[in-house]
């Protein structure tokens, strides 16, 4: 492994001064170190394509950008990379992690295919790539490659990062405090001590729903895992991967199954990735759809890096997108009352929660395909 600051220092000497991207647990040391540096900038992006666009702006403005994200998000970046970066010949450095590495231990199912084809996709995109360095000798070679490709040839280059390439790097207390102060808006931070947990909210949802009348979509990450742990049911769809698509699935489902209530349990990081989906919900206006965003202000499953949710008024955002009802709740009893009501949707609930998960949180033992088939069969059986 190499030290995060050593990589950042070597890259800085070549001129790279601005980092942007979407968190991945592999990238946590580089993200934290770039945030703590007094000579570098880190710009959080809500999705990978936006990160590529931000990098283009940084370069055009005179900077030298580095884009960082998980290989699962490479699909989000293909279009801006091929139609923007390569078309305008913008020489950015990109670091893509290799989740689902076929030569490493098995990873989660959503990473298996992308792990096999990541480097092939880069080849198809006609972009040069090399492995991210894992020791000092490789770091020297990597910097020589970056200089040749980006500085001398003025072409983009991608470093593909395997697991445990960089030593852990934790933020100092001063940096944490500074980030919290900058990001806090209204009473978000002040109310944190009184917030409930994700598992408490999900427990209410379990109590107020049933297999016959309700269909529940849980966004990827800890949300699906906590729903599974709270009570596995045939009407539960646990997403893995496809971050941000929970509300899209919920919308399509609500249109096809107008006789059932569809509840989407979303997260702040996930909905930020695809905010445009809310406009389609408002346009289609399904009366049976309830969209709940559990907002802890962090990408918790990748290391609790902060999202930008604290500057947003989600309630007003939903209102402007023509959700029939939009509200901010913090009380479990208020949530229970709403779920007991027959209020027509689309309904939007912004529910701030505290960080943290239950210890020994299990992963669903049922495969994604079995989840999908079981879910469809349950709909067929309860519609008979």
Handedness of CA 92, 97, 101, 107 (dihedral sign): negative
Residue 140, pLDDT score: 96
**Whole-number Å distance between alpha carbons of 76 and 81:** 9
**Whole-number Å distance between alpha carbons of 55 and 35:** 16
CATH domain 185-383 topology: Rossmann fold (3.40.50)
Residue 190, pLDDT score: 42
Which residue ranges make up each domain of the chain?
4-170, 185-383
**Among the listed residues 76, 371, 72, the one whose alpha carbon sits nearest the alpha carbon of residue 225:** 371
The reply to whether 4-170 and 185-383 are identical in fold is yes
Which CATH code is given to the segment(s) 4-170?
3.40.50.970
Angle at 247 between CA 245 and CA 248, to 5 degrees: 60
pLDDT truncated to tens, each residue of the chain (384 aa)? 999 999 999 999 999 999 999 888 899 999 999 999 999 999 988 889 889 989 998 898 888 999 999 998 888 899 889 988 998 889 999 999 998 888 887 777 777 888 899 999 999 999 999 999 999 999 999 999 999 999 999 999 999 999 999 999 988 766 655 555 444 444 444 445 589 999 999 999 999 999 999 999 999 888 999 999 999 999 999 988 778 888 998 998 999 899 999 999 999 998 998 898 899 999 999 999 999 999 998 888 777 778 888 889 999 999 999 999 999 999 999 999 999 998 999 999 999 999 888 778 888 889 888 998 999 999 999 987
**Whole-number Å distance between alpha carbons of 63 and 318:** 36
Residue 178, pLDDT score: 54
Residue 193, pLDDT score: 59
Residue 184, pLDDT score: 45
H or E element: which one contains 352?
Answer: strand 347-352
Residue 238, pLDDT score: 93
Q: Are strands 305-306 and 298-299 parallel, antiparallel or unpaired?
A: antiparallel
Residue 130, pLDDT score: 96
The pTM for the full model equals 0.79
Residue 91, pLDDT score: 94
Alpha carbon 287 to its chain's center: 28
């Amino acid at each position: 492994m190499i030290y995060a600051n050593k990589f950042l220092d070597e890259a800085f000497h070549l001129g790279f001064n601005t980092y942007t991207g979407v968190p991945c647990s592999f990238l946590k040391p580089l993200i934290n170190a770039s945030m703590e540096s007094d000579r570098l900038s880190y710009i959080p992006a809500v999705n990978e394509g936006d990160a590529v666009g931000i990098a283009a702006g940084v370069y055009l403005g005179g900077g030298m950008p580095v884009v960082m994200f998980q290989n699962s998000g490479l699909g989000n970046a293909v279009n801006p990379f091929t139609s923007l970066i390569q078309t305008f010949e913008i020489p950015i450095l990109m670091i893509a992690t290799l989740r689902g590495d076929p030569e490493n231990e098995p990873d989660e199912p959503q990473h298996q295919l992308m792990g096999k084809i990541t480097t092939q996709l880069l080849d198809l995109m006609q972009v040069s790539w090399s492995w991210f360095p894992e020791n000092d000798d490789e770091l020297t070679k990597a910097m020589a490659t970056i200089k040749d490709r980006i500085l001398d040839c003025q072409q983009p280059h991608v470093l593909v990062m395997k697991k445990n390439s960089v030593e852990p790097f934790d933020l100092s207390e001063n940096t944490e405090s500074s980030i919290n102060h900058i990001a806090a808006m209204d009473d978000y931070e002040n109310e944190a001590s009184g917030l409930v947990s994700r598992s408490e909210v999900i427990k209410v949802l379990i109590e107020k729903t049933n297999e016959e009348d309700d269909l529940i979509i849980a966004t990827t990450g800890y949300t699906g895992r906590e729903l599974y742990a709270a009570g596995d049911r045939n009407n539960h769809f646990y997403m893995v991967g496809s971050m941000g698509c929970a509300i899209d699935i919920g919308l399509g489902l609500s249109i096809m199954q107008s006789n059932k209530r569809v509840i989407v349990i979303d997260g702040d990081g996930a909905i930020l990735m695809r905010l445009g989906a809310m406009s389609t919900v408002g346009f289609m206006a399904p009366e049976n759809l309830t969209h709940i965003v559990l907002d802890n202000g962090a990408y918790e499953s990748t290391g609790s890096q902060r999202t930008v949710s604290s500057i947003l008024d989600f309630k007003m955002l939903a209102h402007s997108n023509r959700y029939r009802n939009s509200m901010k709740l913090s009380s479990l009893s208020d949530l229970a009352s709403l779920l007991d009501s027959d209020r027509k949707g689309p309904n939007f609930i912004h529910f701030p929660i505290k960080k943290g998960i239950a210890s020994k949180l299990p992963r669903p033992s049922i495969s994604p395909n079995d989840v999908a088939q079981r879910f469809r069969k349950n709909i067929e059986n309860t519609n008979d």
